[in-house]
Homo-oligomer: A and B are copies of this chain.
Amino acid sequence: MAICFSSAVKPANHFTVFFNPAPKKPIFKCSCSLPTVTTTEPEPVFTSVKTFAPATVANLGPCFDFLGCAVDGLGDYVSLKVDPSVHPGEVSISEVIGPSKLSKNPLWNCAGIAAISAMKMLGVRSVGLSLSLEKGLPLGSGLGSSAASAAAAAVAVNEMFGNKLLPDELVIAGLESEAKVSGYHADNIAPAIMGGFVLIRSYEPLDLMRLNFPEKKQLLFVLVTPEFEAPTKKMRAALPAEVGMPHHIWNCSQAGALVAAVLNGDPVGLGKALSSDKIVEPKRAPLIPGMEAVKKVAVEAGAYGCTISGAGPTAVAVVDNEEKGKVIGEKMVEAFWKEGNLKAVSMVKRLDRVGARLVGSVPAPR
């Protein structure tokens, strides 16, 4: 493994909402592999921790593959404890609460892969950990299920050893997991870890921009998930290899408008941009029964915009009022049933501004 870590590991509080007016210098000079650190091995500051990581909405219409945001009150939990019965430097998965098809082999489980990556980055060699994963998110829903597990696990390891990794480093740990499960893309894992909206500026080196939706402004998402399997690989295969110049210019301008709407705290402008994709959504929506009708109904009912969340099948609409969001959600559920013959459930969730975080801990004895 190449050593490509170019800066000293600095303590950081990743629960702070990071606002990035001047982009940080890239942390890594190369992204050839998982970075390793050669500083003193850290000791656990807790005997056990519990973390939560939120669901995420990636793509956001014209921002395909480079922008995502986190939604509050929906996500996965990871409980992690120091376990003398586990081989030092390794992770064992003791329990997966949720879908039975998830592997308990840490090398094949999103949370396990991310936890191992974070341990390697921290240089943990003398402590074994056991991990329990509680899935709050359905698999393959387009809500960043794998990213939430990975984010919760990476942050749990980091908290366990004194919070020494920077958010970008935690994203790298999570990316190892995403690469094995759904492809090397950071538009779910970055907002799952950092909260809010995160723009992926580049991968080599990894360069992330946290976009700050103003605190005083309301932003809510209506998330409507039908009972339908829309595998990421199939949805990726539907994408065109090339884009005509007029559509390229259009989508670029709408992506710019969406970023401006986020920074200006403008849900109307955000919704309008979200609805405007002429490249990806037109190819994918027909593959999800009823999706086109659901979008139409959402906008007619007063949503500021609507598109597919991630690779689907969840539909996401933007509003700034919870009650209105609930009514819109019901109409979207009806449309999935009427036009797509699919049962669906709806939720109204706020923008998550914090990202993956500690929700419980037991200090290590001194």
* Chain A contacts to B: CB under 8 angstroms: 20-23, 62-67, 199-202, 209, 211, 239-245, 248-249, 251-261, 263-266, 268-269, 272, 279
Q: Which of B23, B63, B264, B265 contacts A252 (CB 8 A)?
A: B63
A84 and B15 alpha carbons, distance in the complex (Å)? 71
Q: Which of B201, B243, B261 contacts A253 (CB 8 A)?
A: B201
From A279, which residue of chain B is reached at the shortest CB distance?
Answer: B248
Whether the Cβ atoms of B256 and A245 lie closer than 8 Å is no
Whether the Cβ atoms of A23 and B269 lie closer than 8 Å is yes
Whether the Cβ atoms of B256 and A199 lie closer than 8 Å is yes
- 9 A-B interface contacts by CB (under 8 A): A22-B269, A65-B249, A66-B252, A199-B256, A202-B253, A241-B244, A243-B244, A243-B248, A255-B255
Whether the Cβ atoms of A239 and B249 lie closer than 8 Å is no
Q: What copy number does this chain have within its complex?
A: 2
A36 and B197 alpha carbons, distance in the complex (Å)? 43
A22 and B272 alpha carbons, distance in the complex (Å)? 11
Whether the Cβ atoms of B257 and A260 lie closer than 8 Å is no
Q: Which of B62, B64, B240, B256 contacts A259 (CB 8 A)?
A: B256
Known: A63-B253, A66-B249, A243-B248. 19 other contacts (CB 8 A): A21-B266, A23-B261, A23-B272, A62-B252, A64-B249, A67-B253, A199-B253, A199-B260, A201-B253, A201-B257, A239-B245, A241-B245, A242-B242, A242-B245, A248-B251, A252-B255, A253-B255, A260-B263, A263-B263
Chain B residues, CB < 8 A from A248: 243, 248, 251, 279
A249 and B254 alpha carbons, distance in the complex (Å)? 13
From A254, which residue of chain B is reached at the shortest CB distance?
Answer: B201
A272 and B66 alpha carbons, distance in the complex (Å)? 17
A64 and B240 alpha carbons, distance in the complex (Å)? 21
Q: Which of B63, B264, B272 contacts A256 (CB 8 A)?
A: B63
Identify the interface centre among A20, A241, A254, A260: most chain B CB within 10 Å of its CB. Answer: A260
Chain B residues, CB < 8 A from A268: 22-23
